[in-house]
Structure 1
Amino acid sequence: MWGRKKRNDKKKNTPQASKKDLPKRDVSIFEIRQAIQRFTSHLPDGVELQTIINEDNTINYELLSPFLEAIPNETYYMSKETYEVFEEKDKQLAFDLDHIQQAIDKYMKQTKELPIIDGDPYNKVNYFKLERLGLITYRPNYTFYITDDEFLITYEAPFPKKDQ
């Protein structure tokens, strides 16, 4: 009674649309990213963005379609670890980001250090260190770098650190 809201009062305005009512059309990656931002702003407390990512890293259009007001013709993929969105042609990058990010997290938990190439000012991931502990089953075709932001990885080479 004291300051408690009725359950319906707490609900955010979430777009409602049936998949049958929505048109199927070409949707750009930019539109997908915008829809994901709108979807995120409507998530209830305690619900993570990862709910929109299917097991195969595809984006769950059933959840996203009300924010797109369409069903995309294209298939987009999303990293479960970094939440980056990729087109079909780059879907392997979504899988590789997840594979290496999980390995890095485990490596840091075990060793209390970053699995980087010694002395590298870019914090380039050292696949050998991850392999040595049995944390990866393959080496991606990409070079990954560890950022200072929560030790997330990126495939874009950063600027070298000034103190090195």
Structure 2
Amino acid sequence: MFWKKKQDKKQLNEKKTYPTRPISIHELRQAVQQYANTLQQGVPLSVIINDDLTIDYHLLAPYLKAIPEETYYMSKETYEIFEEKDKELAEHIDKIQRAVDQYKKQKGELPIIEGDPYKKVSYYKLESLNLISQRPDKTFYITKEEDLITYNQPTK
């Protein structure tokens, strides 16, 4: 009995190594979804996101059966996944989403341009409360779902 427990503990401490191979963003999204389905209630998906917004591939490796060759980024605020070329977009989404949330908390309303049918984020309103120091090149909109931002213009 003692020997069995010792073996089990040893196996838990050994990390399985996975090969490195090309992984598509679609495959990665599926692996993230599978991983999310295993999380205990109350554990946020953000546990797989590193400080630099890269994804902790070691947590996803059992689902991918590999480590991606590519570098992917994930927004901590919206959990959207981006390719290397869109890293800056992931950073802007996080920055603007935090500012929108803070604005709503302080003012009790969304920082949108008055009369805009698409709920375009007003950078002026965010700047007026010192929530952003510079405007991103992209236009962001506020979605109907949980007041999350998106860079895709909504349809009417």
Regarding TM over 0.5, the answer is yes
> Helix, strand or coil for the counterpart of 1:113?
coil
Is it true that 1:91 corresponds to 2:90 in the alignment?
no
Partners of 1:40 and 1:133 lie apart in 2 by 35
1:101 maps to 2:97: yes
Asked if the contact 1:19/1:71 (under 8 Å) is kept, the reply is: no
* 1:73 to partner: Cα distance: 0.5
When the two chains are superposed, the root-mean-square deviation of aligned CA atoms in Å is 1.1
Secondary structure of the equivalent of 1:117?
coil
The answer for the alignment partner of 2:122 in structure 1 is 126
Contact 1:122–1:158 (Cα < 8 Å) also in 2? yes
Unaligned runs of 5+ in 1: 1-16
Partner Cα separation in structure 2 for residue 136 and residue 19 of structure 1: 43
TM-superposed CA distance for 1:19, in Å, is 4.7
Return 5+ residue gaps in structure 2 as ranges: 1-13
Secondary structure of 2:28's match?
helix
1:77 counterpart SS class: strand
TM superposition shift of 1:41:
0.9
Show CA shifts across 1:53-76 (max 9, x none). Answer: 000000001111111100110000
The structure 2 residue matched to 1:34, chosen from 6, 30, 33, is 30
Question: Distance between the aligned counterparts of 2:21 and 2:63, measured in 1?
Answer: 14
Q: Is 1:115 matched with 2:74?
A: no
- What is residue 64 of structure 1 aligned with on the other side? 60
The alpha-carbon deviation at position 18 of structure 1 amounts to 3.6
Greater share of helix residues, 1 or 2? 2
Write the distance in 2 (CA, Å) between the matches of 1:102 and 1:114.
Answer: 12
Letter in 1 for 2:27: E
Distance verdict in 2 for CA 1:19–1:57, change over 3 Å: farther
Maintained 8 Å contact 1:75/1:88: yes
Structure 1-normalised TM-score?
0.84
Residue 158 (structure 1) aligns with = 154
Amino-acid identity (%): 60
Q: Secondary structure at the match of 1:86?
A: strand
Q: Could you tell me which residue of structure 1 aligns to residue 40 of structure 2? A: 44
Which 4+ runs in 1 deviate beyond 6 A? Answer: none
- Give the secondary structure class of the aligned counterpart of 2:111: coil
Q: Secondary structure at the match of 2:106?
A: helix
Cα offset for 1:89? 0.1
> How far apart in 2 are the matches of 1:94 and 1:124?
18
- Report the alpha carbon displacement of residue 133 of structure 1 after superposing the two structures with TM: 0.5
1:113 Cα deviation after fit: 1.1
